[in-house]
Amino acid sequence: MNQFSHAWLAFMAIKRLEKARGLSEKNREHADSLIEWFKSHKDGVIRGAWYPDSVIGDKPNSHVLKFRPGGTNTEFKQLPRTYRVYELVKDFPLRNRPFEVVDKNDNLPDRCESIAESVVDHLKIQEHEEKGSPVSPTDNQVALLLFMLSHYVADAHVPFHCDGRRFSEGKRIHAHMEDKWDKTMRHHYKINKQNDRFFYDPDGYPLLINAQQYQSSFLKKVDDELCNRKLGVSFGNGNNNVWDFMNAVCQHSYLLSYRFIPEGYDHENVTRENWQDLSEPNLEFDDLSVAVFSDAIDSIARVWFRVWRRYEKWEKKQRAKKKP
């Protein structure tokens, strides 16, 4: 995914946490305090969400976890049932066959887990240290980490980041697909190119150029999909942490990739003419895009929420201890 896709997903995750229904009263309080905190730090969204590509440069192994049919692993980790990708692949025959990791150095779920832990650590240290302490992390540093985290979480939803076939070679269908998404963002949203920011609407979210045209884009379908989906905070049955959750996401992205481009196709016979028409039964590119983007927004919101809640629960305990 490219710069503005990543930034847009981060914004929509904040919006989801702010507006979506479905949280218990206690969880709503945690979400509201996170939103309150985010509001003063969102100018770093684009830079932060793009940092993993522009500066960190760990793309070859940390932005991917690629699978192929084969090996001995038969158990797919579970995703929340409300996910679009779950619906699209739940009856897909490949789900009943073993699968294996292609390159054991791929570590996207580890990367997500480590940044999530790091955010909690930073917040605890910040709370513990006196104001102005030279070792106290700043809010901006924490925000930057959260936006970086959103990048890796989003990448796990991109089918080709989880498919061992070489779609970055040949007709470079991987880049072609991501370019299409980025062009859609640039087409529909007003971007301040001088300082790499979206212009904002009165609610503080990316400003549409033409609300009419947007109605027929897949982005509107993403919005509709999420409006109809309650905000949950579960990582899925049996998933105890970010690492488990991101493995589940990657495994489903692998299935979605094969659902869209069936076995028997690879970088040598997929072209820019046929790539959208290979699935059987037909899966439109727009429908795949809606699944990728709506689920990515949902996942970013879940991961951020859980990180923030963990910190706040810790903070509450600390305060209780200090009371005489």
Residues that bind Zn ion (CB under 5 A): 63, 155
CA atoms within 13 A on the CB side of 210: 8
Q: Closest separation between CB of residue 316 and Zn ion, Å? A: 35
Structure tokens given for 67 = 């699978």
Rounded CA separation 300/12 (Å): 9
Are 209 and 189 contacting, i.e. CB atoms less than 8 angstroms apart? yes
Q: Which is nearer to Zn ion, 178 or 315 (CB)?
A: 178
Q: Which is nearer to Zn ion, 63 or 157 (CB)?
A: 63
Q: Which is nearer to Zn ion, 108 or 261 (CB)?
A: 108
Q: Which is nearer to Zn ion, 63 or 252 (CB)?
A: 63
**88 Cβ contact partners less than 8 Å away, ≥ 6 residues apart:** 256, 259, 283, 287, 288, 291
**25 Cβ contact partners less than 8 Å away, ≥ 6 residues apart:** none
Q: Which is nearer to Zn ion, 3 or 276 (CB)?
A: 3
Q: Closest separation between CB of residue 196 and Zn ion, Å? A: 17
Rounded CA separation 171/151 (Å): 25
Q: Which DSSP string do the residues of 227-256 spell out, in sequence order? A: HTS-------TT--SHHHHHHHHHHHHHHH
Task: Using CB positions, name the residue nearest to Zn ion.
Answer: 63
Q: Closest separation between CB of residue 297 and Zn ion, Å? A: 16
Q: Closest separation between CB of residue 243 and Zn ion, Å? A: 18
Q: Which is nearer to Zn ion, 57 or 98 (CB)?
A: 57
Neighbours of 15 (CB within 10 A): 19
Are 190 and 209 contacting, i.e. CB atoms less than 8 angstroms apart? yes
Neighbours of 79 (CB within 10 A): 26
Q: Closest separation between CB of residue 118 and Zn ion, Å? A: 18
Q: Closest separation between CB of residue 304 and Zn ion, Å? A: 18
Q: Closest separation between CB of residue 158 and Zn ion, Å? A: 8
Q: Which is nearer to Zn ion, 61 or 217 (CB)?
A: 61
Rounded CA separation 222/233 (Å): 19
